[in-house]
């Protein structure tokens, strides 16, 4: 049976038709919404009073979650079942931040000892680098960390390093991801080779963009300090020890990754090495503890008061029943400026699917297009479309209650703009001298508010969106943990590049001919 034919889906469709006849203005007159549609947990708050929904809507959405067996799938994920069915893998990024040593089995083997061993190795290395024990080839301590990766090996660490800059000391952290040589070249111009440590992050150590940049960095370092510098200035996060050693990195300086952790869920593993180097082990452990706290909330909180579940259900309501094709991510915090890009990968790569777990083509919409930028910058770019565009676009506003950084007047202005934008989107302006000044209102939004932007709250925030993404995948009956659509273009690019570099005849198909027209 198609999802759209199920009783829960049909009940929501009927409810939507009745609700839309009322209009959002009527719904928002209930002053109790601010209290009733609010969840607070350990310094994190979700308020969804400005959503175009009622208590009845929530009841029906929770019935959809029950029908789709969200709680069963949640138990299977935390229990180590191979819920990534297309790749026959468990999904256990949550194990990386679990402080308990209760066995978690994958293929009947307890993975916790291996996790602990890797965490201990990472922590020891971080202490050695930060303490000046591990130095560069000239004997100088490191002051620059350059993370070379792409996708999940870049976006999560990049976001965390930027968000937690006030907690960093002693190091400048740089990130290189783009195959465009300008990316690596511009970073190399900023750093001192004698005091630079490169962290190359690639599970297979064959990722094209990462290897291009890693070899460029290697050539630069060798030119500056000689071949022997490679073993002191490069470390790797990978599973391919043969390729790592071929590059010149000793196997002792390689930290492992695991098949049961997808790239976009890997910040909590050794992939977060650059972040740990920047902020230190204690702060990195706080980051993990925050994510673990959200894991516990997700597992134990009642469904009606469960942040990830409610956030996921509201997204499905807006996408599938109110017809919203996009979602704006609006962090009113400069340190969270990379959050929209991080969530683009997390949600769109996870749930950008049109085939169910069982291989059937869906007859409903899945993930919306995510975009965003920092407020108040975004107010001067695309908010015009949010307020008066022909397609209503829901928004997640992310704020930090206490983040003045000795400029309280700036923080008051920031939060007043956040509140005003949410209010203007919801209520609009119906009376105006000219039609161009009419704001229709009825544009839904959520508030995600952190007490402080510290390592613990950042961990909670990222885990919140991880679990939201998982729940939506369950609701849509798609596998959130594979990404086959990423591979086709990569395979085609490798073939075209191989032909061009070898001097072979470039393919005569349309793509091959097009490639010839853009080659220098």
Positions annotated as catalytic residues are 349, 380, 490
Measured CA distances, 51 to 18, 32, 64 (Å): 16, 14, 18
- Is the distance from CB of 347 to CB of 462 less than 8 angstroms? no
Tokens representing 63? 């019935």
Measured from the Cβ of residue 120, the count of other Cβ atoms closer than 10 Å reads: 10
Q: What is the DSSP string of 295-326?
A: HHHHHHS-GGG-HHHHHHHHHHIIIIIS---E
Phi and psi at 5, nearest 5°, equal -95, -5
| H runs (alpha helix) in 23-111 | 24-27, 33-36, 55-67, 70-79
Best CA proximity match to 455, nearest among 268, 293, 287: 287
Kind of pairing between the strands at 254-255 and 234-237: parallel
Residue found under tokens 């470390």: 235
The dihedral sign for the CA sequence 322, 326, 331, 336: positive
Q: What angle do CA 411, 412, 414 make, to 5 degrees?
A: 60
Residue found under tokens 């910058």: 377
Best CA proximity match to 168, nearest among 448, 461, 458, 374: 458
Rg, Å, the chain Cα set: 24
User: What is the C-alpha separation between 265 and 288, in angstroms, rounded?
Assistant: 12
Tokens representing 254? 């390689």
């Amino acid at each position: 049976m198609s999802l759209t034919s199920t009783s829960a889906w049909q009940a929501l469709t009927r409810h939507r038709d009745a609700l839309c006849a009322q209009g959002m203005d009527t719904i928002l007159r209930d002053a109790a919404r601010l209290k009733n549609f609010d969840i607070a947990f350990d310094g994190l708050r979700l308020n969804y009073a400005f959503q175009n929904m009622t208590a009845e809507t929530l009841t029906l959405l929770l019935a959809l979650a029950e029908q789709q067996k969200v709680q069963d799938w949640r138990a299977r994920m935390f229990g180590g079942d191979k819920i990534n069915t297309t790749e026959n893998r468990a999904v256990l990024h949550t194990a990386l931040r679990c402080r308990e040593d209760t066995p978690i089995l994958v293929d009947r083997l307890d993975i916790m000892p291996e996790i602990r061993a890797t965490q201990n190795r990472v922590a020891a290395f971080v202490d050695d680098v930060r303490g000046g024990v591990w130095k560069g080839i000239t004997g100088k301590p490191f002051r620059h960390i350059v993370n070379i990766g792409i996708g999940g090996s870049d976006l999560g660490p990049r976001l965390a390093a930027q968000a937690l800059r006030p907690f960093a000391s002693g190091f400048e952290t740089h990130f290189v991801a783009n195959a465009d040589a300008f990316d690596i070249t511009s970073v190399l111009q900023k750093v001192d080779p004698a005091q630079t440590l490169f962290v190359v992050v690639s599970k297979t150590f064959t990722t094209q963009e990462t290897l291009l940049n890693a070899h460029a960095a290697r050539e630069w370092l060798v030119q500056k300090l000689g071949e022997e510098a490679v073993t002191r200035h490069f470390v790797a996060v990978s599973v391919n020890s043969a390729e790592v050693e071929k590059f010149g990195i000793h196997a002792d300086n390689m930290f492992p990754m695991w098949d049961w952790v997808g790239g976009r869920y890997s910040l909590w593993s050794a992939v977060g090495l650059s972040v740990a180097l920047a902020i230190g082990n204690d702060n990195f452990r706080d980051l993990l503890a925050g994510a673990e706290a959200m894991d516990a909330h997700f597992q134990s909180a009642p469904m009606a008061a469960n942040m990830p579940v409610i956030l996921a259900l509201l997204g499905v309501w807006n996408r599938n029943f109110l017809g919203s094709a996009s979602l704006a991510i609006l962090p009113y915090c400069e340190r969270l400026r990379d959050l929209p890009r991080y969530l683009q990968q997390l949600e769109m790569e996870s749930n950008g699917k049109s085939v169910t777990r069982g291989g059937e083509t869906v007859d409903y919409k899945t993930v919306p297009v995510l975009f965003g930028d920092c407020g108040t910058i975004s107010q001067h770019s695309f908010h015009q479309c949010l307020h008066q565009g022909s397609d209503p676009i829901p928004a997640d506003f992310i704020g930090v209650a206490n983040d003045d950084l000795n400029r309280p007047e700036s923080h008051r202005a920031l939060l007043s703009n956040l509140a005003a934008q949410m209010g203007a989107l919801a209520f609009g302006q119906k009376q105006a001298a000219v039609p161009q000044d009419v704001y229709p209102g009825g544009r839904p939004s959520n508030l995600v508010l952190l007490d402080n932007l510290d390592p613990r709250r950042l961990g909670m925030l990222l885990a919140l969106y991880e679990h939201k993404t998982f729940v939506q995948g369950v609701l849509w009956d798609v596998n959130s943990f594979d990404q086959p659509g990423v591979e086709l273009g990569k395979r085609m690019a490798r073939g075209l590049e191989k032909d061009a570099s070898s001097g072979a005849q470039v393919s005569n198909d349309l793509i091959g001919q097009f490639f010839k027209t853009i080659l220098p």
